[in-house]
């Protein structure tokens, strides 16, 4: 771990972590540092995030002890309806293109976070990102592998290809990549605030781009949009309070998983044992069955949140687990307060950036952002280089589903920041990788609560991820052979992947000890990231 009495920022790219740490050194808060690091990540990992996407945050205020949530997920345009798509001959929402685009919430999320918790001037937070967008940065290792794998999404948009495929190709390791159009967008946001994006020249460019490509985004879709401060949902796991963002985020599944896992003595099983992984795999299947049945935008549908994360319901669900045999699918349960709905469809968007920051006062921001799919919709805002997300793929056209498409409704969201605390210990954490996130969060919490790992050990610990249907799981090769055999005997279909596989997600974490005032940071070796401490005043 990184250990310091000053602040720490942990992000997927060291230059983004460094940007946040430099903001802390200038007297900025954890919120300021998170915004600065987030803006840099949008420049350096355009396949994952940027101003054209959404974000969520959980904020811990060290002075008051209060934990607050921010939902900055965008909504569907007013005219993007099932009947409109059907009139175009479409039977499902397109995976890419302008009709997959929802209103971006990221900039509004930055603004709200700064308004409530920022200390430095707004414009100062964007100078590192503007520098890297205009002067360029060398493509790092992880990007150099990921970028060409998904570059095909730009083939349908020549404007996008001209920016993100310089010379007709994805940039290579060490190649300096510049994005002066995106730098201009950042400069406008820095000087004019969030209105530049939602009412000013960037908003006008988004609408113009949409109309040019046959989309339906109108000025009011942008100008009416607001992010929402929310109360995080929580559960108690072995004395740790664990917090997640409420629906429309899938964080509720992590809490339901933990409640089911709490019914078993995991600490006696061992951290890489067959019995431990079996319980977690079965808990995942139970929780995800409920997730896909009930999750939706609570402004449009009733989500039985209290029932889904009640301990009595967890005890009922846990009884369905047979310790001697894997069950490959479970029916959704009926938690207290549930109404009758048609099952939602899972939406496993995988392309996400998580970061977290703690300042010298112990304030923590747990922050996550995404374009949904790799390079989002593949559509770039003319004149500003902003890739628009394809988060409309979080909707379905199936009538009766809690996630059926509707005007100004927020979609099923995979991204989820997290926070946990016990006594004097407070941890901001997150693990990326689409639909794997609730599972990975539950594994991280268990590693700390059941097996007494520190945050770096918990990030590095072997993990698994569900794939396909039934009992298919990806699992890292560091898991002992005896455990792999034991799981196979129980009925799991395992695909063994590398020792630190991106398929199981990568995470970041910070910890503040309020008794000593000392901060700790960790970064997952599955990514290119680093936890970087605030430099000393010298």
Of 63, 62, 41, nearest to 51 by C-alpha is 41
> 323 phi and psi, to 5 degrees?
-70, -10
pLDDT digits (tens, 9 = 90+) for 377-418: 999 999 999 999 999 999 999 999 999 999 999 999 999 999
pLDDT band at 342 (very low <50, low <70, confident <90, very high): low
pTM for this one? 0.96
What gap in Å lies between CA 368 and CA 73, rounded to an integer? 11
Task: Tell me, rounded to whole angstroms, the distance of Cα 171 from its chain centroid.
Answer: 25
pLDDT digits (tens, 9 = 90+) for 104-125: 999 999 999 999 999 999 999 9
- Determine which of 58-62, 150-154, 410-414 has the lowest per-residue pLDDT on average: 150-154
Q: What share of the chain is helix, strand, coil (3-state, %, to 5)?
A: 40, 20, 45
What gap in Å lies between CA 286 and CA 268, rounded to an integer? 22
Tell me what percent of the residues of the chain surpass a pLDDT of 90. Answer: 91
pLDDT for residue 397? 95
pLDDT for residue 349? 58
pLDDT for residue 13? 95
Contact (CB, 8 A) for 5 and 360: yes
pLDDT for residue 200? 96
pLDDT band at 62 (very low <50, low <70, confident <90, very high): very high
In the three-class reduction of DSSP (H, G, I as helix; E, B as strand; rest coil), residue 503 is classed as: helix
List Cβ neighbours of 41 (8 Å cut-off, separation of 6 or more): 11, 12, 13, 16, 48, 49, 353, 355, 369
pLDDT digits (tens, 9 = 90+) for 257-297: 999 999 999 999 999 999 999 999 999 999 999 999 999 99
pLDDT digits (tens, 9 = 90+) for 19-46: 999 999 999 999 999 999 999 999 999 9
pLDDT for residue 100? 97
- Determine which of 338-342, 460-464, 487-491, 500-504 has the lowest per-residue pLDDT on average: 338-342
Catalytic positions, written as ranges? 352
Of 283, 332, 343, 338, nearest to 307 by C-alpha is 338
């Amino acid at each position: 771990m990184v250990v310091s009495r000053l602040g720490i920022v942990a992000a997927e790219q060291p230059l983004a972590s460094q940007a946040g740490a430099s903001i802390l050194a200038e007297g900025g808060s954890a919120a300021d540092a998170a915004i600065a690091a987030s803006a840099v990540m949008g420049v350096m990992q355009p396949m994952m995030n940027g101003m054209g996407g959404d974000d969520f945050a959980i904020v811990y205020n060290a002075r008051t002890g209060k934990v607050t949530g921010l939902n900055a997920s965008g909504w569907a345009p007013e005219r993007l309806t099932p009947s409109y798509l059907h009139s175009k001959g479409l039977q499902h929402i397109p995976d890419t293109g302008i009709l997959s685009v929802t209103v971006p919430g990221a900039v509004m999320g930055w603004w709200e976070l700064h308004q409530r918790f920022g200390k430095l001037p707004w414009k100062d937070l964007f100078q590192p990102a503007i520098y890297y967008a205009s002067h360029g940065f060398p493509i790092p290792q992880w990007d150099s592998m990921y970028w060409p794998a998904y570059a095909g999404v730009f083939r349908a948009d020549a404007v996008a290809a001209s920016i993100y495929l310089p010379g007709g190709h994805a940039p290579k390791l060490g190649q300096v990549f510049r994005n002066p159009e995106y730098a201009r967008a950042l400069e406008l946001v820095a000087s004019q605030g969030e209105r530049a994006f939602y009412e000013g020249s960037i908003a006008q460019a988004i609408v113009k781009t949409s109309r040019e490509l046959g989309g339906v985004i109108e000025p009011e879709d942008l100008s009416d949009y607001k992010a929402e401060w929310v109360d995080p949902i929580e559960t108690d796991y072995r004395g740790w309070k664990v917090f997640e963002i409420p629906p429309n985020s899938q964080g509720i599944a992590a809490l339901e998983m933990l409640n089911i896992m709490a019914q078993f003595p995991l600490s006696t099983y061992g951290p890489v044992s067959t019995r431990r992984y079996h319980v977690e795999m079965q808990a995942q299947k139970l929780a995800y069955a409920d997730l896909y049945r009930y999750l939706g935008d609570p402004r449009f549908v009733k989500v039985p949140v209290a029932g889904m994360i009640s301990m009595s319901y967890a005890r009922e669900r846990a009884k369905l687990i047979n310790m001697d045999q894997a069950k490959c699918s479970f029916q959704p349960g009926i938690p207290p307060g549930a109404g009758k709905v048609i099952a939602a469809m899972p939406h496993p968007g995988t392309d996400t950036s998580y970061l977290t920051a703690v300042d010298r006062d112990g304030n923590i921001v747990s922050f996550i952002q995404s374009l949904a799919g790799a390079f989002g919709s593949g559509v770039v805002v003319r004149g500003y280089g902003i890739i628009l997300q394809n988060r409309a793929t979080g909707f379905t056209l199936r009538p009766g589903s809690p996630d059926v498409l509707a005007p100004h409704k927020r979609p099923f969201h995979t991204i989820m920041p997290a926070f946990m605390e016990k006594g004097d210990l407070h941890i901001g954490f997150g693990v990326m990788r689409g639909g794997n996130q609730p599972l990975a969060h539950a594994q991280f919490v268990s590693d700390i609560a059941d097996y007494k790992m520190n945050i770096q050990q918990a990030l590095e610990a072997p993990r698994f991820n569900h794939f396909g249907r039934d009992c298919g799981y990806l699992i890292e090769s560091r898991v002992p052979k005896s455990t792999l055999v034991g799981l196979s005997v129980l009925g799991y279909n395992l695909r063994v992947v590398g020792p630190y596989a991106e398929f199981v997600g990568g995470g970041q974490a910070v910890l503040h000890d309020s008794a000593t005032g000392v901060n700790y940071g960790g970064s997952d070796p599955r990514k290119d990231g680093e936890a970087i401490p605030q430099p000393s005043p010298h």
